């Protein structure tokens, strides 16, 4: 038996019985967040932009609803909802899988009580974990008793953690009042179509009120219920994110219409994700050879939908038991056997102090970006290009090239640095040696980028990247990403304008599927 502690030595102290901790936390009325709404009174306005204060308070430390926050804050999902009430041609649920990273996959299912203890353990170990989501492996609202029991336990025992759920929306209208009653401020609805003819190609059947509906009839029922639920949630002031899976040749062009439909009903954020269709996952689309989009196809669709509607570009299509920062998965550290053997010391003051440090980092990051951006004032150029960044988080260039499991991608122009996505890759460094096969896949994954920013890189991969036309950049190791990218871009423009180099457009890139797996 051992005490599970927070970071930075904050664990020092006696072991506390988890039941006593739960009761103590339930009675807490301090400076942290209250009532499950996640409103923090100790944050900063860094990155608020034009958002109303009420909305900013809901999203500022939510890694899924704020691109800026995802560099600093972590989330976790608990797998308490195994049943599902629809069938999607892109989904194959797995309940005991540790080596795939995609929605619908978990290593183990949990009871609400197990989930509640896991949340306390993770939040004590990862003080920047601010969000608890239920996203499956089935549909949370097809498992309403387990879902709301879990929310009830967390709201009472860890009131500083935001509560979220992700649903296909079929039964959403039936549960809106309950969702609002638990102060769930964030709901994600997966909406892939608003045309039942298209929907029939995606959903073989839906099951509602003890009856199975197929084809166009089932798709029409689903889309009607989804849009009604979205309207009901937004009328209550609940922030809604809409997820859409881009399926080339089926709904890719139609998603522009979906974007208009959800925007008109008050959705806060639209997340267009690439289809995961690797045959080994066993989905209908995977087994029938339906391809996913290329990187540039995905970006072009996201760009076309961007306007007044916020577009999410940083989604990692997480497992239903993911733990940690977006882009990492620490779920293997928190298996049921390990959790049930722990005695958890949940310290709200430590979490609050840690998150205050995070907010100081965010302020410094934004200030550095604005200072560097001012050096581009007056620059005139039509050049836009992409760069890849190896990072472990905190908005820093702080990852070795060979250790990167993904690269974050930024679009650079005279307007500054704009985050536009990420690319999963296989590890290049395997047991101290470079894996040439992996390097080839990395180059294909970032082939549309002019440069890759890293904390460090070896001579062999550096030479191969240069040969592929990708500039490996080590000059900004451990510095802020956006500030560094802007500085590099300014120097790039100077070289182009002086005739030293010629700007050449890059080709397309490959979206890697399933490269990231749970940490061992």
Would you list the DSSP string of 310-367? Answer: EEE-------TT-EEETT---GGGG-HHHHHTEEE---HHHHHHHHHHHHHHHHHHHH
pLDDT over threshold 90, residue 493: yes
Supply the pLDDT for residue 345.
78
Q: pLDDT tens digits for 20-30?
A: 433 332 333 22
Confidence band for 150, pLDDT divided at 50, 70 and 90: very high
pLDDT over threshold 80, residue 459: yes
Confidence band for 94, pLDDT divided at 50, 70 and 90: low
Q: pLDDT tens digits for 262-285?
A: 999 999 999 999 998 878 777 899
For 30, which DSSP code?
Answer: S
Supply the pLDDT for residue 485.
96
Supply the pLDDT for residue 16.
33
Domain covering 375-516, topology = Nucleotidyltransferase; domain 5 (3.30.420)
pLDDT over threshold 50, residue 385: yes
Supply the pLDDT for residue 28.
30
**3 state DSSP class of 507:** coil
Report DSSP letters for 436-492, one per residue: HHHHHHHHHHTTTEEEEE-SB--HHHHHHHHHTT-EEE-TTTTSBHHHHHHHHHHHH
pLDDT over threshold 50, residue 412: yes
Range in 126-140, 338-352, 356-370 the model is least confident about: 338-352
> Who contacts 244 (Cβ-Cβ below 8 Å, separation ≥6)?
190, 191, 192, 251, 255, 258, 259, 270, 271, 272, 273
CA distances from 266 to 19, 169, 232, 508 (A): 41, 15, 10, 34
Q: Where are the beta strands (DSSP E) in 192-335?
A: 205-208, 211-214, 239-246, 269-274, 310-312, 323-325
Range in 31-35, 120-124, 164-168, 294-298 the model is least confident about: 31-35
Supply the pLDDT for residue 377.
86
Supply the pLDDT for residue 106.
64
Q: pLDDT tens digits for 66-93?
A: 777 787 888 888 999 999 999 999 887 6
Q: pLDDT tens digits for 349-369?
A: 888 888 888 888 888 888 888
All CATH 3.20.20.70 domain ranges in the chain, comma separated: 18-340
With b meaning 16 or more CB within 10 Å and e meaning fewer, what string describes 70-88? Answer: bbbbbbbbbbbbbebbbbb
All CATH 3.30.420.130 domain ranges in the chain, comma separated: 375-516
Question: By percentage, how much of the chain surpasses pLDDT 70?
Answer: 84
Tell me how far apart the alpha carbons of residues 297 and 299 are, in angstroms, rounded to a whole number: 6
Q: pLDDT tens digits for 51-60?
A: 788 887 888 7
CB count within 10 Å of CB 445 equals 24
Q: pLDDT tens digits for 287-317?
A: 999 999 999 999 999 999 987 678 888 877 7
Selection from 101-110, 175-184, 426-435, 507-516 with the highest mean pLDDT:
175-184
Of residues 441 and 63, more confidently modeled: 441
Q: Please work out, in degrees rounded to the nearest 5, the angle formed at the alpha carbon of residue 29 by the alpha carbons of 24 and 34.
A: 105
Residue with tokens 């929907």: 199
CATH number of 18-340: 3.20.20.70
Question: By percentage, how much of the chain surpasses pLDDT 90?
Answer: 51
Report DSSP letters for 147-208, one per residue: HHHHHHHHHHH-TTSEEEEEE-SSSHHHHHHHHHHTT--EEEEE---S-HHHHTTT-SEEEE
Rounded mean pLDDT of 367-387?
Answer: 91
Range in 6-10, 40-44, 179-183, 444-448 the model is least confident about: 40-44
Rounded mean pLDDT of 134-143?
Answer: 91
């Amino acid at each position: 038996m051992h005490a599970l502690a927070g970071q930075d030595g904050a664990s020092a102290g006696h072991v506390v019985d988890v039941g006593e901790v739960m009761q103590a936390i339930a009675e807490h009325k301090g400076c942290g967040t209250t009532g499950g709404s996640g409103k923090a009174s100790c944050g900063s306005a860094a990155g608020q932009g034009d958002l109303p204060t009420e909305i900013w308070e809901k999203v500022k430390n939510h890694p899924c609803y704020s691109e800026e926050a995802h560099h600093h804050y972590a989330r976790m999902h608990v797998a308490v909802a195994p049943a599902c009430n629809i069938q999607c041609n892109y989904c194959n649920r797995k309940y005991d899988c540790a080596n795939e990273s995609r929605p619908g996959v978990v290593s183990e299912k949990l009871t609400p009580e197990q989930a509640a203890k896991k949340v306390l353990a993770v939040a004590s170990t990862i003080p920047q974990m601010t969000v608890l989501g239920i996203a499956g492996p089935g549909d949370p609202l097809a498992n309403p008793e387990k879902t709301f029991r879990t929310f009830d336990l967390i709201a009472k025992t860890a009131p500083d953690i935001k509560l979220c759920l992700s649903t296909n929306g079929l039964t959403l209208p039936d549960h809106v009042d309950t969702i609002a009653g638990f102060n769930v401020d964030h709901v994600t609805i997966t909406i892939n179509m608003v045309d039942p003819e298209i929907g029939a190609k995606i959903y073989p059947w839906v099951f509602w009120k003890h009856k199975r509906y197929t084809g166009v009839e089932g798709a029409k029922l689903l889309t009607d219920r989804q849009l009604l639920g979205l309207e009901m949630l937004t009328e209550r002031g609940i922030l809604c994110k809409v997820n859409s899976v881009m399926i080339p040749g089926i709904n890719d062009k139609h998603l522009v219409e979906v974007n208009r439909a959800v925007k008109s009903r008050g959705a806060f954020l639209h997340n267009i994700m690439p289809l995961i269709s690797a045959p080994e996952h066993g989905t209908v689309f995977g087994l029938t050879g339906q391809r996913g989009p290329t990187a540039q196809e995905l970006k072009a669709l996201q760009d076309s939908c961007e306007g007044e509607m916020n577009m999410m570009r940083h989604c990692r299509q997480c497992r239903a038991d993911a733990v940690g920062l977006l882009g990492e998965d620490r779920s293997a550290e928190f298996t049921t056997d390990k959790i049930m053997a722990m005695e958890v010391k949940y310290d709200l003051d430590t979490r609050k102090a840690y998150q205050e440090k995070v907010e100081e980092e965010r302020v410094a990051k934004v200030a550095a970006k604005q200072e560097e951006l001012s050096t581009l004032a007056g620059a005139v150029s039509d050049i836009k290009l992409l760069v890849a960044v190896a990072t472990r988080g905190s908005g820093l260039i702080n990852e070795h090239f060979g250790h990167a499991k993904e690269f974050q991608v930024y679009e650079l122009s005279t307007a500054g640095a704009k985050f536009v996505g990420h690319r999963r890759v296989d590890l290049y460094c395997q047991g101290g040696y470079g894996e040439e096969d992996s390097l080839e896949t990395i180059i294909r994954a970032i082939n549309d980028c002019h440069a890759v920013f890293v904390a460090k890189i070896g001579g062999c991969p550096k030479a191969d990247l240069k040969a592929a036309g990708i500039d490996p950049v080590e000059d900004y190791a451990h510095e802020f990403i956006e500030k560094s990218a802007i500085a590099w871009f300014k120097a790039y423009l100077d070289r182009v304008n002086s005739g030293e180099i010629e700007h050449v457009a890059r080709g397309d890139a490959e979206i890697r599927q399933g490269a990231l797996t749970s940490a061992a």
